[in-house]
Amino acid sequence: MAMTELVRSAWKIIPQFHSRSINETVKFYTEELSFELGGVHPDDGGTPEPTFCSVFVGRKADANIYFFQTNAHEFQACEAMIALGTTELDEYYDRLKSGGRVAITEPIEDTEWGYRQFTIKDNDGNRLTFFKFLEGGNPGEE
């Protein structure tokens, strides 16, 4: 099989972010952004705080992020983009904005490269840009 055929089997990408506190990361992503918790490690309660967590959204955890506990000297903020459906993007933005607890660093806007998008910053300074395509390719289009 050709190399191009092999890599076409890719079906998911999982960004890895740094976290100063896994417990605070879990709280922010599940309570403020309504992500689902995939899991934490260790999960046996034997340590004061877990060193890893996974959070996700989407039908099959389509948008999944792994967080690793990092000390202050090694910490580096990360970024990712998450595509949302045609009608859901604006409603999600409105709810986050009206809640007043999520730092919106870039308000919703249509871009010259064909996206409608907005960006938030989490409790560690990691940035997530939520977007949809202005033309075609979005779930929920009629």
List the domain range (segments joined by +) for residue 121: 13-133
**Structural tokens at position 100:** 């007043």
Would 7 be classed as within a structural domain?
no
Q: How many domains does the chain have?
A: 1
Q: Is residue 29 part of a domain?
A: yes
Residue 142 lies in a domain: no
Alpha carbons 122 and 120: distance in angstroms, whole number: 7
Report how far residue 140's alpha carbon sits from residue 12's, in angstroms, rounded to the nearest whole number: 21
Candidates 22, 26, 77, 87; CA nearest to 49 is 22
In-domain check, residue 115: yes
Q: Looking at the domain assignment, is residue 17 inside a domain?
A: yes
- Residue 139 within any structural domain of the chain: no
pLDDT in tens, 67-82: 999 987 888 999 999 9
CATH number of the domain where residue 47 is located: 3.10.180.10
Which tens digits make up the pLDDT trace of 123-138? Answer: 999 999 999 999 877 7
* Cα 41 from Cα 48, distance rounded (Å): 12
Amino acid 27: pLDDT: 97
In a domain, residue 76? The reply is yes
